[in-house]
Structure 1
Amino acid sequence: MSDDGGLTGQRARLDAEMERCGQWPADSPWLREAFAALPRDRFAPQRLWRWDGWAYVPVDRAVDPDGWARELYGGVHSAAVTQLTDGLPSSSLSAPGAVADMLDSLRLEPGHRVWDVGTGQGWTAALSAWRAGPGLVVSSEVDEGLAGFARGRLADAGLDAQVLTGDATRGGLPGGGQVDRLHATYAVESVPWSWVEAVRPGGRIVYPWGRLGYVALTVAEDGASARGWVHGLAQFMGDRRAPAQASSGPAAHAAVRAGADPQVRRVLDRDPAGLEDWDLRFALRVAVPDAVLVTEHEPDEPHGPDGPHGPVVLVHDGDRSWAEVRPGTGGRPVLLQGGPRRIGDEVMVAWAQWEGLGRPGLYDYGVTVTPDSQWAWHGSPDGPRWPIAQPAPAGR
């Protein structure tokens, strides 16, 4: 065991991996300096949680410092779970690559006033304060325990950043006024209009969008709207007080199907392996946002010429509607569906639409937010669009 639990080596390894993967943003060289000055271990609790394939198990720094360091520095794209609620993750230190990319998208400059939404352990607030300057970052955290922890870590780092307890999704900027930048660390399906109101015209809002991806918006000069492009692909924990997102995985699909027989069965002319394309997955997320989709590869078994291998695709809406795509005879997959809506057909229509648009990537999509409506679009704000459900009014 090393004197510091391997932290020096883990920090160096992460820095090198970020370099090798091209994750240090060329336009924001300050981020590499900030990561070195404020390493994530300075903002991590003494206990982390590791998924062992069945459940989350504790990794305590006092008991296993090397294991704790490895869990904390799992990789460029690895978050570290810092809190469980009812056995499920409720807070984490986000993946380093996503943190760097989102803060690069924020276009943060010295002197900017920043609203950090979702303090967690305080790491992103610290990085923002390192860049913006003393007294310019206010951070909101709904969990008082986390807020207190973050205050202590920020103070230990010698940073002047304010952490307040409150629900940023349903309230305005603490203290009023406007900021230059808003950075959210938890996922929302739709942007609260109070966030747009809190950012000055020309300012930026960077936030995780629902179950997949993050977006950078610019507030219009008249303050009456905000719009911008998708900037990356990542998964974040959701707003704690929003309706729970439907769970993924075979068990969640089985719970929705509840043993029911298919109501519809039809042969497809599409290869279900195409649904493993992440650009298509993102397009489906835009067009059918409540569809939860997972692909599985069954163990190899002997098959004749009419029984090809292929992934099994499970789809559900978290309520009562489900679909499955399974390899069929003659080399043609079969779509099975049940429930009050034909969610499998919705996925197939969105798939065809994506192909009709030229198979765009996630960076070809954007979002527009106005006081009374929000929508995603392809290619340009005037291109094909898909509505985004509005958030509940503040105070509901």
Structure 2
Amino acid sequence: MTVGEDARAAGCRERLDAEMERLGEWPEDSPWLRAAFAALPRERFAPGRLWRWDGWAYVPVDLPIDPDGWFAELYSAPYSAAVTQVTDGRPSSSLSAPSVVADMLDSLRLEPGQRVWDVGTGQGWTAALAAWRAGPGLVVSTEVDERLAGFARSRLAAAGLDVEVRVGSGTDDGVPGGGRVDRLHATYAVESVPWSWVEAVVPGGRIVYPWGRLGHVALTVADDGAGARGWVQGLAQFMGDRTDPGHANTAGPAYAAVRGDAEPEARRALDRDPAVLEKDWHLRFALRVAVPDAVLSTGQGQGQGQCEGGPVVLVHDGDRSWAELRPDAGGRPVLWQGGPRRIGDEVLAAWARWEDLGRPDLYDYGVTVTPDAQWAWQGDPDTGPRWPIGGLHPATR
């Protein structure tokens, strides 16, 4: 970097540190993270080209041409990721939001001397932070994209870190080099946890991963290694597993592509205000648990219904079913839907059940993984209500 770029970087780091402090995003239980962020700032792991959404498409922002724009994209906010790669018009890699990285690594409960498998190297930043904590030679990372793996190796080496990066599928392959690890940290979203991840971690060890379209979870492997379970930790949104593009892919088709020019097949009045979904993320998470394939977006005056003003909620299943929750011409909330399933009714039923459960927050949910089945639960892992993950679980409550 040039002298001017170094000065910009220093200013950005100071502002990020202060904003993380103001928002309470530096984890109290993991003070090492603040020091690691300072020692290994994200610009060391960022390519010279980032990508910005201009409202229509992702456009390149190049460091040599637009250094102010580049740094603004890299350090836009604690809750914002920086897109580092675009494939077929969609993001395919990024430097994750600083607050989310801190939260997930805090959830990992990583201690010096522990062996770590970092699944999904990307640019190598989270592997670098883990290595700063664990120590030399204790972090191994897997990346399916050979070009990204090479980039991460070079940046990790430049930072003086002893981290092994291998090309391969972390979803399908075991720990590179064999054996078991104390901690597994995934940087791409999966709906179902590969059983190979549980087998890769020692009893009592931790697995932290982004869960499908919304949320991240920390599992503890059982003492007998026969399963793992743990609580939801936060609201991370990550890109899906690229070895299985249709699985837990947060991009997916847009609402307009699913609906096309189809007219509503059903319409009915609602007894609740769709605008609640715009801000209540605990409710949004409950719907994600109960209807995991429902893609939900909110806004003002969107969609294709007959009233173009006021809050609107668009829902689709990534296939052919869709719904709109919006005000009609008289301002009364209505549901429009179409397609082979009534996904709007499914969302409303899940909403009603969440209210019946006492409106639990997202941290009151957890996940259990066994060799044969996986399920989410609320309140109590043994006696609370359950929802299947991946279509299989042993019992319903």
Question: Could you tell me which residue of structure 1 aligns to residue 358 of structure 2?
Answer: 358
Off by >4 Å, runs of 4+ in structure 1: 245-249
Does 1:256 find its partner at 2:258? yes
After TM superposition, list the pairs within 5 Å mapping 1:182-197 onto structure 2: 182-197=184-199
Q: Partners of 1:135 and 1:29 in 2: how far apart?
A: 22
Q: Partners of 1:74 and 1:266 in 2: how far apart?
A: 42
After TM superposition, list the pairs within 5 Å mapping 1:234-383 onto structure 2: 234-244=236-246, 252-276=254-278, 277-298=280-301, 310-328=310-328, 331-382=331-382, 383=384
CA contact (8 A) 2:215 2:234 kept: yes
- Larger mean Cα displacement after TM superposition, 34-43 or 326-335: 326-335
Shift of 1:42: 0.7
Question: Could you tell me which residue of structure 2 aligns to residue 127 of structure 1?
Answer: 129
Shift of 1:4: 2.1
CA contact (8 A) 2:238 2:250 kept: no
Question: Could you tell me which residue of structure 1 aligns to residue 395 of structure 2?
Answer: none
After TM superposition, list the pairs within 5 Å mapping 1:1-396 onto structure 2: 2=4, 4=6, 6-244=8-246, 252-276=254-278, 277-298=280-301, 310-328=310-328, 331-382=331-382, 383-389=384-390
TM-score normalised to the size of structure 2? 0.93
Letter in 1 for 2:235: L
Shift of 1:330: 5.5
Shift of 1:64: 1.8
Residues 80-101 of structure 1 deviation map (CA, whole Å, 9 limit, x = unaligned): 1111111211111000000001
Q: Partners of 2:250 and 2:43 in 1: how far apart?
A: 30
Letter in 2 for 1:152: S
CA contact (8 A) 1:246 1:318 kept: no
Structure 1 172/55 Cα, relative in aligned 2: closer, same or farther at 3 Å? same
RMSD: 1.9
Q: Partners of 2:154 and 2:80 in 1: how far apart?
A: 25
Q: Partners of 2:213 and 2:270 in 1: how far apart?
A: 27
Shift of 1:246: 6.8
Letter in 1 for 2:73: E
Letter in 2 for 1:387: P
Residues 335-391 of structure 1 deviation map (CA, whole Å, 9 limit, x = unaligned): 111111111110010000000011111101000000110000000112000000069
CA contact (8 A) 2:188 2:239 kept: yes
Q: Partners of 1:169 and 1:329 in 2: how far apart?
A: 49
CA contact (8 A) 1:201 1:220 kept: yes
Letter in 2 for 1:58: P
Structure 1 313/206 Cα, relative in aligned 2: closer, same or farther at 3 Å? same
Letter in 2 for 1:281: R
Residues 242-289 of structure 1 deviation map (CA, whole Å, 9 limit, x = unaligned): 13357779x822222222222211111111112221111100000000
Q: Partners of 2:308 and 2:76 in 1: how far apart?
A: 37
SS at match of 1:6: helix
Residues 271-325 of structure 1 deviation map (CA, whole Å, 9 limit, x = unaligned): 11122211111000000000111122129xxxxxxx9964122111111111112
Q: Partners of 1:157 and 1:248 in 2: how far apart?
A: 32
CA contact (8 A) 1:308 1:331 kept: no
Q: Partners of 1:132 and 1:188 in 2: how far apart?
A: 25
Shift of 1:232: 0.5
Q: Partners of 1:102 and 1:14 in 2: how far apart?
A: 18
Unaligned segments of structure 2, at least 5 residues = 393-397
TM-score normalised to the size of structure 1? 0.93
SS at match of 2:293: coil
- Larger mean Cα displacement after TM superposition, 95-104 or 49-58: 49-58
Q: How many matched pairs?
A: 383
Q: Partners of 2:309 and 2:353 in 1: how far apart?
A: 26
